[in-house]
């Protein structure tokens, strides 16, 4: 299991502290990090609130047979979270896959004070930024209480900390890919993601149910490197895949030439 500390998450802006309330999250000890837990199951019985304020079960988002992209933010975040959401909407708009059709997206707040009304505002903003309004059925902005947040983030290895003096969270940035059954499949760090990497991750997480023959070919040539959270070219597999492709092409050429060679003979025989 690889442990990657995301430097960007250590940035805390010296903003004025907001008034403390009974729902103000306690200061969290430990370092800010993202620990990969590939293959781990997320707690499907977890209860959250959607943008309409309705109580929903996490498992409800994993009964549609589609992979799920998961990101953690908080809605008052002054810098990192807006950049992450903007980048996510941008890169997903470059995919031919559609949110709500080939995959879903969950954006979950780590701040228990965030409300559904604000979640609805952000959903409207970033679905419009994505550019396909049908995505409203597949991109969900969720809030919940502190205990549920901790259970969820611990299950996926997302460690963060709250500083009461600045009323800000220190946290990393990552986009997680989960299977339709709710198991962690891939982690992508930072906020600049490659469309190719996300597409391959979605194809893999769907167990090949989505994607094209080209995607399957690329999966032979590339492998996911958990140390860096990227797909890298696998030289040996690339050569093997190329060899198989060349063999198929040559075999097809031979079949075509044999058929061409046979046609005149059949024609002469019939004369």
Q: What is the CATH number of the domain that holds 7?
A: 3.40.30.10
Residue 121 lies in a domain: yes
Angstrom distance (rounded) from CA 189 to CA 166: 25
Buried b (16+ CB within 10 A) or exposed e, 81-113: bbebbebbbbbbeeeebebbebbbbbbbbbbbb
Helical (H) or strand (E) element with 238: helix 235-270
- Does residue 141 or residue 259 have the better pLDDT? 141
Q: Which two tokens stand for residue 164?
A: 């009461």
Query: Is 239 domain-assigned?
Result: no
Give a yes or no: residue 38 inside a domain: yes
- Confidence at residue 64, expressed as pLDDT on a 0 to 100 scale: 93
Q: How confident is the model over 255-267, as a mean pLDDT?
A: 53
In-domain check, residue 257: no
Q: What is the pLDDT of residues 124-137, one digit of tens each?
A: 999 999 999 999 99
Q: Rounded to whole angstroms, how far apart are CA atoms 8 and 165?
A: 19
188 band by pLDDT with thresholds 50, 70 and 90? very high
Is the pLDDT score of 52 beyond 70? yes
Residue 20 lies in a domain: yes
Average pLDDT over residues 75-101: 95
* Confidence (pLDDT) at 219: 59
Does the residue 97 lie in any domain? yes
The total domain count for the chain is: 1
pLDDT higher than 60, residue 2? no
Domain that holds residue 126: 3-210
In a domain, 71, yes or no: yes
Question: Count of CB atoms within 10 A of residue 3's CB?
Answer: 11
Q: Is residue 268 part of a domain?
A: no
Over the stretch 8-41, which tens digit does the pLDDT of each residue have? 444 443 333 333 334 666 555 557 999 999 999 9
Give pTM, 2 decimals: 0.76
Q: What does the pLDDT read at residue 261?
A: 58
């Amino acid at each position: 299991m690889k442990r990657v500390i995301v430097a960007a998450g250590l940035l805390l802006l010296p903003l004025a502290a907001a008034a403390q309330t009974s729902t103000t999250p306690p200061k969290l000890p430990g370092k800010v990090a993202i620990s990969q837990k590939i293959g781990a199951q997320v707690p499907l019985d977890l209860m959250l609130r959607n943008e309409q304020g309705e109580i929903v079960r996490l498992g409800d988002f994993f009964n549609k047979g589609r992979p799920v992209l998961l990101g953690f933010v908080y809605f008052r975040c002054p810098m990192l979270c807006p950049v992450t959401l903007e980048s996510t909407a941008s890169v997903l708009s470059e995919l031919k896959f559609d949110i709500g059709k080939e995959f879903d997206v969950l954006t979950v707040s780590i701040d228990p004070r965030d409300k559904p009304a604000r979640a609805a505002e952000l959903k409207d903003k970033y679905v419009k930024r994505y550019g396909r309004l049908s995505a409203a059925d597949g991109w969900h902005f969720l809030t919940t209480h502190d205990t549920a947040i901790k259970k969820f983030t611990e299950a996926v290895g997302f460690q963060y900390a709250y500083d009461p003096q600045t009323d800000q969270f220190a946290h990393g940035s990552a986009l997680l890919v989960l299977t339709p059954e709710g198991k962690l499949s891939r982690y992508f760090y930072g906020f600049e993601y490659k469309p190719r990497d996300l597409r391959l991750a979605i194809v893999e997480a769907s167990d090949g149910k989505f994607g094209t023959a080209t995607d399957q070919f690329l999966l032979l040539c590339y492998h996911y490197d958990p140390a860096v959270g990227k797909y890298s070219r696998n030289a040996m597999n690339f050569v093997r895949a190329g060899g198989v492709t060349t063999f198929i092409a040559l075999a097809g050429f031979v079949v075509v030439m044999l058929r061409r060679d046979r046609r005149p003979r059949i024609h002469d025989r019939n004369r």
